[in-house]
Amino acid sequence: MSKKTSVDIVVPVYNEEIALPDNIPMLYNYCRNNLSEYDWRIIIADNASTDSTSAIAKKFAKRPQISYLKLPTKGRGLALKTAWLNSQAQIVSYMDVDLSSNLEFFKGLLSAIEDSSDIAIGSRLARGANVVGRTVLRGIMSRGYNLLIKAFFSISFKDAQCGFKAIKKSVFQNLEPLIENNNWFFDSEMLILAEKSGYKIAEIPISWHDDPSSTVKVAKTASEDFKGLFRLWKTKPWKNVRRGDG
């Protein structure tokens, strides 16, 4: 019998005491019922929560195949870097704790990587995607931002920001030294570096239900994103990437 492919699913959280009690069991049950061909693990990556997130996450970590990682500093990108670099899995992934992305599409990410892709991303903007509950403003900003990425870098992917991604651990190790951002621009920076370095990105259209209680500050993240895009356009760090076998 061949050895199962190992997969770590990171759920970065910051003050998510309301979402955790319902959504971690939902994710856990999905994995138990649908990922039997994988050696999977859920990692709750807590980046400096100040509410009862830590206590709730520690209780879940008593279950098999769930672990808890506490970081003293805020930053979604930092949480993912830390969890992924410390992972022993062949494929590392993440999803937002609100589970806005329909879980039935997760196996599609893994299958794309096992096929031939280096990275697989969920997309709300690809043909065939279904988005529910997103405000007109957020939709316009998302499309505008991704068009800006395309104009700056001539990339092919359509949705850089969707919180539903998987990547080969070996590929992430090659890219990570060049990823400067530790917050919300992390996703965009990783994908731009990856495509410009010649890695293959699979984009999977998904069903997405927008969370009206999201704590993401649109104006603040937009400013960070634009500064990050200008920095990448100016420095072109992908010229320093040394591709391994992936």
Cα(57)–Cα(95) distance, integer angstroms: 16
Radius of gyration of the chain (CA): 17
Mean pLDDT of 4-8: 97
Residue-averaged pLDDT of the chain:
93
pLDDT of residue 240: 78
pLDDT of residue 93: 98
pLDDT of residue 201: 98
Lowest mean pLDDT among 59-73, 75-89, 165-179, 211-225: 211-225
Amino acid (one-letter) located at 42:
I
- Map out the domains of the chain with their CATH numbers: 1-99 (3.90.550.10), 116-162+170-239 (no CATH)
Backbone phi, psi, residue 213, to 5°: -95, 10
Cα(65)–Cα(115) distance, integer angstroms: 25
pLDDT of residue 244: 60
At 133 the three-state DSSP class reads coil
pLDDT of residue 216: 52
Lowest mean pLDDT among 52-56, 133-137, 204-208: 133-137
pLDDT tens-digit map of 63-118: 999 999 999 999 999 999 999 999 999 999 999 999 999 999 999 999 999 999 99
Instruction: Decide which of 13 and 131 is more confident.
Output: 13
Please determine, for residue 62, whether its predicted confidence score (pLDDT) is greater than 50. yes
Mean pLDDT of 213-221: 58
Residue whose token pair is 């634009």 = 226
Cα(184)–Cα(220) distance, integer angstroms: 10
pLDDT of residue 239: 87
Lowest mean pLDDT among 89-93, 165-169, 242-246: 242-246
**Residues of the chain above pLDDT 70, percent:** 94
Report which listed range, 1-5, 17-21, 213-217, is most confident.
Answer: 17-21
Cα(121)–Cα(143) distance, integer angstroms: 16
3-state helix, strand, coil in the chain (%, to 5): 45, 20, 35
pLDDT tens-digit map of 104-163: 999 999 999 999 999 999 999 999 999 887 777 778 888 999 999 999 999 999 999 999
For residue 114, what is the DSSP state?
H
**Residues of the chain above pLDDT 90, percent:** 84
